[in-house]
């Protein structure tokens, strides 16, 4: 049984996986001292009048136990990439989480992040 409800959802996820692999390969090369080739940069799009900005991404907040680097307590996760509440797991940028009880629909979580 799959968590993707349509071929379009599956295709979207496969494309995201491909992009993340390409990013990881590029970052790995840069860490090893391999910078983009002049030809690669020459064919790259040009961004003018640029500035840094942020945009929200889906995350989870909740009470966590057993995290490898954070104390037990309220946390904010990294970006969510996959979520299967029926099978009770989520995959964020950094790790899998086992899911227990969700917060009530009308609750407002006021957790302070440790991450």
111/93 Cα distance (integer angstroms):
20
User: pLDDT by residue (tens digit) across 9-55?
Assistant: 899 889 999 999 999 999 999 999 999 999 999 998 888 998 988 88
104/42 Cα distance (integer angstroms):
52
* Local confidence band at 98 (pLDDT 50, 70, 90 cut-offs): very high
User: pLDDT by residue (tens digit) across 63-81?
Assistant: 999 999 999 999 999 999 8
3 has pLDDT over 90: no
Residue matched to tokens 């227990």: 100
Strands 61-64 and 80-84 turn out to be unpaired
């Amino acid at each position: 049984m799959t968590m993707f409800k349509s071929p379009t959802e599956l295709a979207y996820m496969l494309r995201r996986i491909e992009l993340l692999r390409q990013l990881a390969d590029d970052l790995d090369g840069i860490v090893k001292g391999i910078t983009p080739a002049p030809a690669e940069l020459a064919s790259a799009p040009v961004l003018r009048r640029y500035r840094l900005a942020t945009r929200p991404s889906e995350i989870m907040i909740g009470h966590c136990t057993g995290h490898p680097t954070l104390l037990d307590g309220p946390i904010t996760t990294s970006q969510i990439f996959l979520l299967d509440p029926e099978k009770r797991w989520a995959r964020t940028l950094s790790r899998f989480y086992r899911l227990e009880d969700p917060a009530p629909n009308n609750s407002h979580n006021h957790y302070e992040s440790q991450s």
